[in-house]
């Protein structure tokens, strides 16, 4: 996990910042990615599937349900992550 963090810091070119500032930036990016993934998932589910998802109690149950309903979920998450980081880089420059 630390290796991934270092890759993100390098890609964002924020290695000169204090650790707390790096953590804050990475935390905001993670929040943004999670929000975007959630929105994309909800858009791909049918109305009935969204209702069923809302009735599920555990995160594990929701994850299994979503994985079964959305083909290529991991690729979707990776693409949204890449886009979010790229947008941050554009805004930063």
What pTM value is reported for the model? 0.84
DSSP at 81: H
What pLDDT is stored for residue 3 in this prediction? 77
Q: Which residue has the higher pLDDT, 5 or 33?
A: 33
pLDDT tens for each residue of 41-90:
999 999 999 999 999 989 999 999 999 999 999 999 999 999 999 999 88
Distance set, CA 33 to CA 13, 57, 60 (Å): 19, 23, 19
**Residue extents of the structural domains in the chain:** 2-92
Q: How far apart are the first and last CA of the chain?
A: 27
**pLDDT, tens digit (0-9, with 9 covering 90-100), for 2-28:** 677 888 888 899 989 999 999 999 999
């Amino acid at each position: 996990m630390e290796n991934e963090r270092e890759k993100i810091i390098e890609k964002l070119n924020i290695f000169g910042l204090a650790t707390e500032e790096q953590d804050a930036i990475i935390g905001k990016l993670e929040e943004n990615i999670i929000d975007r993934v959630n929105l994309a998932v909800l858009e791909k589910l049918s109305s009935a599937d969204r209702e069923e998802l809302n009735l599920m109690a555990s995160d594990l149950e929701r994850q299994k349900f979503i994985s079964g309903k959305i083909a290529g979920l991991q690729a979707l998450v990776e693409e949204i992550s890449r886009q979010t980081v790229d947008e941050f880089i554009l805004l930063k420059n």
